[in-house]
């Protein structure tokens, strides 16, 4: 019997239940407000218009359904510019901040256009919302669905990656600029880019003035559903929507996933002294955590206000927003900034099993995505290892600090380093999670770059205009004799070796590595560890460094390719000391530099780690065993290759004490381990061997 199969693709082009919903012959505007007494839509012809060309008034009887205001406006289409405007009680002492003159950004706006306009009448005129046609030719694109355990993350800033003239791109500082640099990303071998905030944020002042300190990083959201207009190459209102989709499609075609850094913890409206831009003017008491009877804002974010993420209305907005980015933009995951705020109840208290956190993990339409928590906030909550269970991974701040301190030579850091190398079981195993729930990083956008970590003992944030008071003072960094740049070859050699040591540790640890953009070529921020406002060469990727430091780029490429190919360093479960595959080799073994089982009672800055390869898979290359020798001492030291339960022939994979190209052997054809089993490690160096079988 002939069977005919009809393949029907499930599409996600249906509009969200809020915002500007595009129909064939007009637009339906939908807004939530429980306390408003009147609602209007302001329509504009141009992004520079100070006043609307038409005002559409909602009928309170016919255009309100419960707390939802909905009106259909015929004769308008995609590209239409608009604001909301709401009347209601103005009683700041009780948390009501309606302002009938305020022009309000739609919380569900799909795009914004223009900037804040100058004001001489006290009215804030924010960027205008754009009615968007979401149709796009995805050319069959789907989520890549790469396992988290097989992921290598590259954290980057959309504008900073190609803004420098050294990038040589046709569209510098934009989504399209990233497309031009995909060959470089592929050559590195990274499997995912984690983009710093791309949802809309202010780029000039609320009164139209140029900001004294530009908002470069973008951690100041004002429209969660809208890609940032400043990263578009075109000028047409809403063009950023198509350009963002083009970027995602091109990255997916190259096998690279897209993870977004999302900021569901505060907004650009600030505290009680801040402007009314959107949420304050629609339902302040719902969207924010308030205190003092409603007059003031709780500030767990350190940015003036705190989103009330576990209120049902706000929870729904977050939930719909994530679905919007996943199904309308095909993004592959999210990193949640200050995610511990999502663990706070409606009064700010820490709660077990917070509804929004559980909903994100359990949502069936987000099941293919990666969800990563920055598991702390600005008010003392620190949940690394305990943020949540199920699918949530976490930025592992303990990993960052322990690896930095070990290689700096701090006392007592060898046992913590071993724990981090093996996947941080102390943090994740008790909750039933696995090594891949640990996002391992040594540097990120927030703090020193890798180059600066080994070049500066102190932060140098004077350019930020805050008297060097901003930024973290606890960096676990060193300058090895000179603060900042130096021409002393012995210091430069040590700095480069330390960079290689930390990169090697990062990519050979169990867990998921995250590399900060530019660390592979020694990008510097000149000692600035909080470059949030530096939209200039301090923050931009200098592409001349790729050629200048091509040997380090090669070293990093080789490390990433090794990690991707060798499952011994990216296990899906925690390694233990018991043989599992019948060959007599435990999954992990620890030794001292003498080749004998490690004595953890001393304070030796040296460690040898053995990771056994998992069982071979049919029709796949046989995985290699890995032996790592790490020495953070200030003098060189003899190491002994340990005797294992069965003989293994070893070849050198990398030796950070050697100059390029002898520092790494990407084809795994390095020198054999000496028959004497004795090897010398220089001070501050690392050797890695791989089995020959």
Complete DSSP assignment for 541-573: --THHHHHTHHHHHHHHHHHHHHHH-GGGS-SS
Q: In this predicted model, what pLDDT tens digit does every residue of 420-442 receive, in sequence order?
A: 999 999 999 999 999 999 999 99
Q: Which residues of the chain have pLDDT under 50?
A: 1-14
Identify the DSSP state of 241.
Answer: H
**Which contacts qualify for 581-585: CB closer than 8 Å, 24 or more apart?**
581/612, 581/614, 581/615, 583/646, 584/645, 584/646, 585/612, 585/625, 585/644, 585/645, 585/646
Whole-number pLDDT of residue 615: 86
pLDDT at 11: 38
Whole-number pLDDT of residue 16:
57
Q: Is residue 653 within a helix (H) or strand (E), and if so which, with residue range?
A: strand 650-655
**What pLDDT is stored for residue 3 in this prediction?**
34
Whole-angstrom distance, CA of residue 289 vs CA of residue 309: 9
Q: How does pLDDT run across 346-355, given as a tens digit for each residue? A: 999 999 999 9
Q: Which two tokens stand for residue 509?
A: 């640890």
Residue 115, CB-side half-sphere exposure with 13 Å CA sphere: 15
- Please tell me the predicted confidence (pLDDT) of residue 20: 96
Please confirm, yes or no, whether 49 is among the known catalytic residues. no
What integer pLDDT is reported at residue 8 of this predicted model?
36
Q: Please name the residues in contact with 298: beta carbons below 8 A apart, sequence gap of 6 or more.
A: 288, 289, 290, 291, 305, 306, 348
> Rounded CA gap, 604 and 632, in Å?
9
Single out the catalytic residue among 134, 283, 337, 520: 337
Q: Are 522 and 552 in contact (CB under 8 A)?
A: yes
Q: Which residues contact 343 (CB under 8 A, 6 or more apart)?
A: 350, 351, 354, 357, 381, 383, 387, 388
Residue 480 has what pLDDT? 98
User: What residues does 207 pair with on adjacent strands?
Assistant: none
Which uninterrupted H or E stretch holds 451? helix 450-453
Catalytic residue among 106, 134, 374, 377: 374
User: Given this model, what pLDDT does residue 102 score?
Assistant: 97
Which domains, from first to last, does the chain contain?
19-130 (2.60.40.10), 148-567 (3.20.20.80)
- In the residue annotation, 374 being an active-site residue is answered as yes
CA distance 301 to 365: 29
Closest CA to 334 of 343, 342, 322, 324: 322
pTM to 2 decimal places: 0.96
Query: What is residue 2's predicted lDDT score, i.e. its pLDDT?
Result: 35
Query: Helix axis angle, 550-565 relative to 489-508, nearest 10°?
Result: 20
Extract the tokens encoding 573: 């479960």
Q: Are strands 128-130 and 153-156 parallel, antiparallel or unpaired?
A: unpaired
């Amino acid at each position: 019997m002939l069977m005919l199969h009809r393949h029907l693709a499930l599409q996600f082009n249906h509009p969200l239940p809020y915002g500007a919903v595009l129909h064939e012959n007009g637009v339906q505007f939908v807004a939530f407000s429980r306390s408003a007494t009147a609602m209007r839509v302001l329509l504009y012809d141009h992004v520079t218009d100070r006043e609307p060309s038409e005002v559409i008034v909602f009928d309170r009887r016919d255009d309100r359904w419960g707390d939802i205001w909905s009106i259909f406006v015929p004769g308008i289409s995609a590209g239409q510019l608009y604001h909301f405007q709401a009347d209601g009680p103005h009683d700041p002492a009780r948390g009501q901040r309606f302002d009938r003159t305020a022009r309000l950004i739609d919380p569900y706006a799909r795009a914004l256009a223009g900037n804040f306009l100058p004001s001489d009448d006290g009215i804030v005129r924010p960027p205008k919302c754009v009615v968007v046609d979401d149709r796009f030719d995805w050319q069959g694109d789907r989520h890549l669905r790469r396992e988290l355990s097989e992921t290598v993350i590259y954290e980057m800033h959309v504008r900073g990656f190609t803004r420098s003239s050294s990038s040589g791109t046709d569209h510098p500082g934009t989504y399209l600029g990233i497309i031009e640099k995909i060959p470089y990303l592929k050559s590195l071998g990274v499997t995912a880019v984690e983009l710093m905030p791309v949802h809309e944020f202010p780029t000039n002042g609320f009164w139209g003035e140029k900001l004294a300190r530009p908002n470069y990083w973008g951690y100041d959201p004002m429209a969660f559903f809208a890609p940032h207009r400043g990263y578009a190459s075109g000028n047409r209102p809403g063009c950023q929507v198509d350009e963002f989709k083009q970027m995602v499609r091109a990255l997916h075609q190259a096998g690279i996933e897209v993870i977004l850094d999302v900021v569901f913890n505060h907004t650009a409206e600030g505290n009680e002294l801040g402007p009314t831009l959107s949420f304050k003017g629609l339902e302040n008491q719902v969207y924010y955590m308030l205190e003092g009877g409603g007059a003031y804002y709780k500030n767990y974010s350190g940015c003036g206000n705190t989103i009330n993420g576990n209120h049902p209305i706000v929870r729904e907005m977050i939930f719909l927003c994530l679905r919007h980015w996943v199904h309308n933009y095909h993004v592959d995951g999210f990193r949640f900034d200050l995610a511990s705020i999502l663990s706070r109840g409606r009064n700010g208290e820490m709660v077990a099993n917070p509804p929004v956190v559980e909903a994100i993990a359990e949502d069936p339409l987000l099941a293919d995505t990666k969800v990563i928590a920055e598991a702390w906030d600005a008010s003392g909550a620190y949940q690394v290892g305990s943020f949540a269970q199920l699918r949530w991974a976490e930025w592992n701040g303990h990993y960052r600090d322990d690896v930095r301190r070990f290689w700096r030579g701090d006392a007592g850091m060898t046992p913590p380093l071993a724990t981090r190398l093996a996947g941080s079981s102390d943090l994740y195993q008790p909750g039933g999670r696995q090594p891949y729930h640990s996002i391992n990083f040594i540097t990120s956008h927030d703090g020193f770059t890798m180059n600066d970590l080994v070049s500066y003992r102190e932060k140098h944030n004077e350019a930020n205009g805050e008297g060097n008071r901003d930024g973290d003072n606890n960096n676990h960094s060193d300058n090895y004799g000179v603060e900042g740049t130096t021409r002393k070859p012995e210091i430069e050699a040590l700095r480069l070796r330390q960079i290689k040591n930390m990169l090697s540790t990062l990519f050979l640890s169990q867990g998921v590595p995250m590399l900060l953009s530019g660390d592979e070529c020694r990008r510097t921020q000149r000692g600035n560890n909080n470059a949030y406002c530096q939209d200039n060469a301090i923050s931009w990727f200098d592409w001349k460094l790729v050629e200048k430091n091509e040997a380090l780029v090669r070293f990093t490429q080789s490390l990433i390719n090794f990690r991707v190919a060798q499952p011994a360093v990216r296990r899906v479960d925690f390694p233990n000391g018991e043989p599992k595959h019948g060959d007599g080799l435990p999954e992990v073994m620890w030794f001292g530099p003498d080749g004998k089982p490690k004595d953890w009672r001393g304070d030796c800055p040296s460690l040898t780690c053995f990771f056994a390869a998992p069982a071979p898979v049919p029709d796949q290359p046989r995985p290699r065993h890995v032996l790592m020798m790490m020495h953070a001492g200030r003098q060189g030291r003899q190491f002994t290759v340990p005797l294992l339960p069965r003989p293994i022939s070893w070849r050198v994979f990398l030796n950070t004490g050697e100059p390029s190209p002898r520092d790494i052997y990407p084809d795994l054809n390095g020198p054999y381990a000496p028959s004497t089993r004795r090897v010398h490690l220089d001070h501050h160096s690392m050797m890695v061997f791989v089995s020959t079988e």
